[in-house]
Amino acid sequence: MTDSPTGGLSRRRFLTSSGAIGALALAGCTEQSSGGDGGSGGGTDNSGGSTDGSGSSQLSGEITITGSSTVFPLATAVANEFQKQHDQVDISLSSTGSGGGFSNHFCVGNAEFNNASRPISSEEEQLCADNGIEYHEINVATDAVTVIVNPENDWVDCVTPDQLRQIWRADGASTWADVNSEWPDEQINRFGAADTSGTFDYFNEAIIGEEANHTSNYEATEQDNLILQGVQQDQYGIGYFGFAYYQSNTDAVKALSIDNGDGCVEPSLETAKAGDYEPLSRPLFTYPQKGALAEEHVAEFARFFVEQSANTELVSEEIGYVPRTEEGMQEELDALNDVIDEVQ
């Protein structure tokens, strides 16, 4: 599909630029911020319906969305579709990382939504509680964390979780030969998600486990494009990020299959949906503030996001994630409407 969620960019260019820019303003907003460093104010002060000449209600207001770089392309595509129907709603999106969004924006009251590539942590729950922020969890898609190497890497096509653990844990392997004696005796150069990223948290939990720590000896970043560039330029490099970003850059890097005991399984929408790509398939979330859902434009956007989570053309074909089933989407929508009824 060549249509882009941002209208003027191809899907490939959009996913590449979203990793580099890290922020996007839609509708009436024109300013952009870099990488989510700055705080964006909440936007529930300008809501409410206006009535046009036909007597129909027009939503208006501002919505600030922060969080996961993995969910960022999906949230942007959803926001663009919403904007086509409600062009008086200004939506500002920033790719801050799941943890950065919770800690620096959402749980301190500066965003209506935070996207996350893992569930909210107990520490983040407490921070939200300390600031009087209540939230609702929405599962919007499924992703496959993808491990990538340089295209000139001709010694490995498939790895086990234990081999990944050796590569990525603290005090683990220094060279490829440390992992497998048949591999080159060359230093492993690692490129991965920063510790404010939900991708980091999920990879750490799924691969490293509780008995070890993720190595600090790697190039850490919130921006997927920097991981891609690092591995693309280094024959002995290795990295990981969400499947959608890999799918848009298959000519630049090579994805490794994972052997979790039943043979090598490549990352794909099909293997993630079937539950075969273990242990690196994961749910993706967005979290709206309950208080913000009292504003109709925020509530309507939340409903729209849930409805679009089952849109195969948008979620799967355009962005590259596994969509929700119709049944799963309806369950999410019913739960969301219950919350909206509580606050409105």
Q: Domain-by-domain residue ranges, the chain?
A: 11-143+283-343, 146-279
pLDDT one-digit tens code per residue, 94-114: 999 999 999 999 999 999 999
Q: What is the Cα gyration radius of the chain?
A: 20
With CA atoms as reference, report the closest residue to 111 among 75, 86, 139: 75
**8 A C-beta contact, residue 261 and residue 178:** no
CATH superfamily of 11-143+283-343: Periplasmic binding protein-like II (3.40.190.10)
Q: Are strands 189-193 and 254-255 parallel, antiparallel or unpaired?
A: unpaired
Q: Give φ, ψ of 175 to 5 degrees.
A: -120, 165
Write the pLDDT tens digit of every residue in 185-238.
999 999 999 999 999 999 999 999 988 999 999 999 989 999 999 999 999 999
CATH number corresponding to 146-279: 3.40.190.10
pTM score, whole prediction = 0.78
Q: How far apart are CA 51 and CA 59, in angstroms?
A: 9
d(CA 336, CA 281): 25
Which residue, chain included where needed, has tokens 């979790």? 260
Distances (CA, A) of 298 to 34, 62, 164: 24, 8, 41
**CA–CA dist 306, 340 (Å, integer):** 13
How large is the average pLDDT for residues 268-282?
94
Does the fold of domain 146-279 match that of domain 11-143+283-343? yes
148 within 8 A of 164, measured Cβ to Cβ = no
